[in-house]
Chain A
Amino acid sequence: MQKRVVFNNRLLPYALLAPQILVTAVFFFWPAGQAIYQSAFIPDPFGLKSQFVGFGNFEFLFSDPYYLASFQTTAVFSAAVTLLSMGAALWLAVMADRIIKGSGAYRTLLIWPYAVAPAIAGVLWLFMFNPNVGLVAWYLNAIGYDWNHVLNDGEAMGLVVVASAWRQISYNFLFFLAGLQAIPRSVIEAAAIDGASFWKRFWTIVFPLLSPTTFFLLVVNIVYAFFETFGVIHTITGGGPQQATTILVYKVYADGFVGQDLGSSAAQSVVLLVVVGLLTVVQFRYVERKVHY
């Protein structure tokens, strides 16, 4: 059954949609169009003159092995952040759902980190793991592990993943908990009476019924890992060592605002636009089919 609203006035629906369309046009289509236009030029930083190069910026990008490597870095980083933040949040939510006493305090504490800005989160983790002054780095050193994420790319990647995921866990936890509480008790109790263990109930009843929430969070988390982790990476590694943590968005910033190479930066934005578009199509066409609403 579908709900339909019939408007008597032909113009009214357009008028009601107008603010949304206006906002989308001004804040999305216009800048995106500008990015596409600018990707065909190499301008100087001050905007005094500009050379038309056609697809030259894209040719330059795709012949750069570090740019191609950045795709892989982004994939690894986004997958790791999404898995870690959603996995940890789901586990915490399931546990929090089971406790009865003091659950309010427990939940509040878990939601807290979300209030921390990404850059601040980055600095917090940096202070713990800084090879020179970090407390954790010092303890690791004391037990014989030579921690130095400034030089070791695996450690650097691990650190930015954990720092990025840490903040997102709160957000995911909130949604998972709400999702869990929306699952009818009677279904679970019926399964329990039939003798299904906790984990059996979880995998056969709870997890499938939670799938709309999981899907929503999957989309949100991938977008988060792609675009909003900038502050964390900027403060902790600056994209290093040897570009091991330079994700696509960070490279747009580094080339545009550090290198003043606005042409390349614009071309990268266009590539990013295409990548995110494809990702969204894949998610809604293939992953959403597995979701039970």
Chain B
Amino acid sequence: MAHRKTLAGLVAATILAGSTGVSYAATEIQWWHAFSGRLAELLTEQVEKFNASQSDYVVVASHKGNYSETLNAGIAAFRAGEQPHILQVFEVGTATMMSAKGAIKPVFEVMEETGKPFDPETYLAAVKGYYTTTDGKMLSLPYNSSTPVLYVNRDALTKAGLDPDMDLSTWDKVNEAMDAVKASGSSCPLTTAWQSWVHLENLSAYHNVPFATKENGFAGLDTELSFNGPVQVKHIEAMGQWAKDGKFIYAGRRNEGGARFRAGECAFFTESSAGYAGVKAEADFAFDIRPLPYWAGTEGAPQNTIIGGASLWVMAGHKDEEYAGVAEFLNFLSSADIQASWHQNTGYLPITMAAYEQTKDAGFYKENPGTDIAILQMTGKAPTANSKGLRLGSFDQIRGIIDEELEAVWSGDKTAQAALDNAVARGNQLLRRFEQANR
């Protein structure tokens, strides 16, 4: 009797196991990302939408810390053979990922092998250029891309007796406005986020001068830094003078300046277009988004600005059916609906033309003036060799060096020329080591 009971139980258990097995047959796709807060919520929304839209694949998104930490987690995982399928890597890590030939699976290859429809031409040239080889093959999928713009506190300008709609297209005009703002008693006429990205990398592209030789590193690992030219020196010198005069207030290497601008302390703020959501949510003053200013009289200026942000890299070493899921998910992320709502919610650029058109047709730019500045600024002119982007090894560390040297200028310890010369010399050493490691 007891024997028969056990048998019945076994049969029941087998049936149960069989049925649950069917519902969990979906292939799991691991995605490691660096987002937290509001951005993580929006990302989770995308993942949930994808998971609900089909039953073959389940995307599992995991937060792995900030950009540097996420990249490190991906590298460590690869060394242990535990890498995720998709890794979000910031633009600075692009050269590192590109050189890791056996560790990544280029996006164009994933799409080709799985036969998913994929047309690189639908992506914005200025965005995909950063992640595409010189012969036009897309290596990673642009995900969140932004470009620096000028945020203006209109109330501060009014208080200083200025017309808040005044022309602020050049640094000379911004400087005049800063003088007036300072005279009206402001403690912070100008502050910035991401100084190296805005005031050297984008400055160089925007004025069509090279940041590094060999097409900013696109054409070879034997590239050398060249951001100590006259245009960059002039700009950093001016900023140094503004810092001395109390017109430019340095708040920190990342986006520490944002807190001061959002609190209404600062009149001008150079920051990523993706800072829009935060400013809109917190600012209790009238604000405006303007294109990044340039120096009048520089030949070719304004060219176009370059992107910052991150792209999605597919890691090597997974099964074919998993890559099919990856391809489907990447296509889903690039679809116009997803991109348009991502763009409108975050201030990141839409990565495809279709998403831009859809946003425009929906009247979003009319209702939120200034949100299209970033995209116009990036797509206004066809990118040149100096404004496609940057592809430099050890770039996270080189940015650290640039930050240090710029800080020496802001504190008055060094002249702009000496600081930039030193940054170039120190950065070149790291580029040579990177070249050696990837020979």
Residues on the A chain within 8 Å of B396, using CB: 258-259
Which of B103, B251, B252 meets A46, CB within 8 Å?
A: B103
Q: How far is the CB of A188 from chain B (nearest CB, A)?
A: 52
Is the Cβ of B394 less than 8 Å from the Cβ of A259?
yes
A158 within 8 Å of B by Cβ? Answer: no
Is the Cβ of B397 less than 8 Å from the Cβ of A151?
no
A contact patch SS: loop
Is the Cβ of B404 less than 8 Å from the Cβ of A46?
no
Bits for B79-109, please: 1 = Cβ < 8 Å to A, else 0.
Answer: 1000000000000000010011111000000
The segment from A24-32, A37-45, A276-284 found at the interface with B is A37-45
Residues on the A chain within 8 Å of B407, using CB: 150-151, 240-242
Is the Cβ of A64 less than 8 Å from the Cβ of B429?
yes
A132 within 8 Å of B by Cβ? Answer: yes
- State the CA gap A263–B432 with chains docked (Å): 14
Contact status of A45 and B96, CB under 8 A, knowing A51-B439, A257-B72, A259-B394: yes
Closest to B83 in A: A46
Is the Cβ of A258 less than 8 Å from the Cβ of B397?
yes
Residues on the A chain within 8 Å of B251, using CB: 131-132, 150
Residues on the A chain within 8 Å of B410, using CB: 151
Contact status of A254 and B400, CB under 8 A, knowing A48-B102, A51-B439: yes
Contact status of A45 and B75, CB under 8 A, knowing A51-B439, A241-B404: yes
Which of A45, A133, A151, A238 meets B100, CB within 8 Å?
A: A45
Contact status of A60 and B433, CB under 8 A, knowing A45-B96, A261-B394: yes
B contact patch SS: helix
B184 within 8 Å of A by Cβ? Answer: no
Which of A238, A242, A260 meets B96, CB within 8 Å?
A: A260
Contact status of A240 and B100, CB under 8 A, knowing A42-B437, A264-B433: no
Size class of the A contact interface (CB-based, 8 Å): 20 to 34
Is the Cβ of B411 less than 8 Å from the Cβ of A152?
yes
Bits for A253-293, please: 1 = Cβ < 8 Å to B, else 0.
Answer: 01101111101100000000000000000000000000000
Closest to B403 in A: A240
- State the CA gap A221–B260 with chains docked (Å): 39
Bits for B403-439, please: 1 = Cβ < 8 Å to A, else 0.
Answer: 1110110110100000000000010011001001111
Q: Which residues of B contact A (CB under 8 A)?
A: 68, 72, 75, 78-79, 96, 99-103, 250-253, 256, 259-260, 394, 396-397, 400, 403-405, 407-408, 410-411, 413, 426, 429-430, 433, 436-439
Q: Which residues of A contact B (CB under 8 A)?
A: 42-48, 51, 53, 60, 64, 66, 131-133, 150-152, 238, 240-243, 254-255, 257-261, 263-264
| In the complex, the 9 A-B pairs of residues with the closest C-beta atoms, listed nearest first | A259-B397, A151-B411, A46-B103, A46-B100, A242-B404, A42-B437, A241-B407, A48-B102, A44-B437
